[in-house]
Amino acid sequence: MKRFTLPRDIYYGKGSMDVLKTLKGRKATIVVGGGSMKRFGFLDKAMNYLKEANIEISLIENVEPDPSVETVMRGAAAMRDFQPDWIVAIGGGSPIDAAKAMWVFYEYPETSFETLITPFSFPELRTKAKFVAISSTSGTATEVTAFSVITDYAKGIKYPLADFNITPDIAIVDPDLADTMPEKLVAHTGMDALTHAIEAYVSTLNSPFTDPLALKAIKMVFDNLLLSYKGNMEAREQMHYAQCLAGMAFSNALLGIVHSLAHKTGAAFSTGHIPHGCANAMYLPYVIRFNAKEAEAMKRYAEIARSIGMKADDDAELVEMLCKKIELYNSAMSIPESLKLFGVKEDEFKEKVNNIATLAVGDACTGSNPRKVTPELMAKLLDCIYYGKKINF
């Protein structure tokens, strides 16, 4: 048996946040991040709408980027005191991811991250509350996905949580919130969304339900990302929808080794954090050329190329055209083409590459990659990504 799960309702369009006025319930806990939603007035707006619905409100503020186990536990305890029947998470990926995990520990205080880490094994949620997600960035699509990532800083590990129980009940995709994104965030989150759609399309778990969402998202990203980057707000709106479509695809079809590599290199080097979307953008053309050595994957990448209007005599040529287009977008948005150019030191890279390769093979996203990969192959791939070398294996 296969399954395809999305939120029950997706409200979208400028001003769609006002649907909060129509929620039926007694109490809502709002979860927000560091302050941009407050500064730009969206938090007040949400609170006013909920008050109009006669809903009593509690607030969990200051969820940090890459939210911690402690933040989740603190939030869950506050929810147990307040007993909300709605959880409303507003902001980028971090507050929404944190709120999803708080939700689990609110309803099941006795569970543990060690238990939850087994994919699709969660206890039944919605015994106490339902969940609204309102996203402010156009990339992670956590407002429609079954995923959340929580960091245990003491143990130095990330818990990738995956279960359709944490797919929100309501997603609000209001482009007004994405207007506030700075240029660099537009570039990185946009390329993250493109990576989601491409990886979902070639994933071993691709399906007739996810394919149209992925292809449409890819087309919309190519049509709108550079305009959005330059400040065109109509294009920004389309990107907000495109990333959501990509999210619906990858929540059900899962991802591949671009994400495995981004996860394991993000915090690996002393020269600084590599933002998730930036890492994906850099690695994507290398991984496409690597995966395309597998016949079925080559066929799927060629289908993507054709779907955005590319024409060529054979599939290999189409795949190359697709890679070139991605590289063009990267360079137009000042995303470097190798880890070396990003600033990672050669000595440190050489010292860590084998370990990173092994960790990346073990990442949750590797299982659905269309080409089987060993630590040795992953290390060779990383070597090409570091030096900007051609993939010939």
Query: By the criterion CB under 5 A, which residues form the site for Fe ion?
Result: 192
Quick check: 309 and 321 in contact, CB under 8 A?
no
33 or 84: whose CB is closer to Fe ion?
33
From the CA atom positions of the chain, what is the Rg in Å? 20
Place of tokens 């060690």: 114
174 or 192: whose CB is closer to Fe ion?
192
125 or 268: whose CB is closer to Fe ion?
268
Q: How far is the CB of 250 from Fe ion (least distance, A)?
A: 8
Q: What is the token pair recorded at 352?
A: 């860590």
Q: Closest by alpha carbon to 212, among 170, 245, 240?
A: 245
86 or 250: whose CB is closer to Fe ion?
250
129 or 254: whose CB is closer to Fe ion?
254
192 or 320: whose CB is closer to Fe ion?
192
97 or 192: whose CB is closer to Fe ion?
192
Quick check: 205 and 153 in contact, CB under 8 A?
no
Q: What is the token pair recorded at 358?
A: 């092994």
Angle at 65 between CA 62 and CA 71, to 5 degrees: 55
Q: How far is the CB of 45 from Fe ion (least distance, A)?
A: 28
Q: How far is the CB of 38 from Fe ion (least distance, A)?
A: 26
Place of tokens 């992953």: 378
Q: How far is the CB of 259 from Fe ion (least distance, A)?
A: 6
Q: What is the token pair recorded at 257?
A: 């080794």
Question: Is the dihedral angle over the CA atoms 93, 325, 312, 258 positive or is it negative?
Answer: negative
Q: How far is the CB of 189 from Fe ion (least distance, A)?
A: 9
Q: What is the token pair recorded at 171?
A: 């997603």
Q: Closest by alpha carbon to 171, among 242, 98, 89?
A: 89
Residues with Cβ within 8 Å of 51's Cβ and at least 6 positions away in sequence, in order, are: 57
Q: How far is the CB of 219 from Fe ion (least distance, A)?
A: 19
Neighbours of 309 (CB within 10 A): 8
Q: How far is the CB of 205 from Fe ion (least distance, A)?
A: 16
Longest dimension (CA), the chain: 64
Q: How far is the CB of 1 from Fe ion (least distance, A)?
A: 27
Task: Report the residue number whose CB is nearest to Fe ion.
Answer: 192
Distances from the Cα of 386 to the Cα of 24, 182, 334, 336, 379, angstroms: 53, 27, 17, 11, 10
C-alpha neighbours within 13 Å on the C-beta side of residue 15: 0
Place of tokens 């240029």: 183
Strands 130-135 and 56-60: unpaired
192 or 315: whose CB is closer to Fe ion?
192
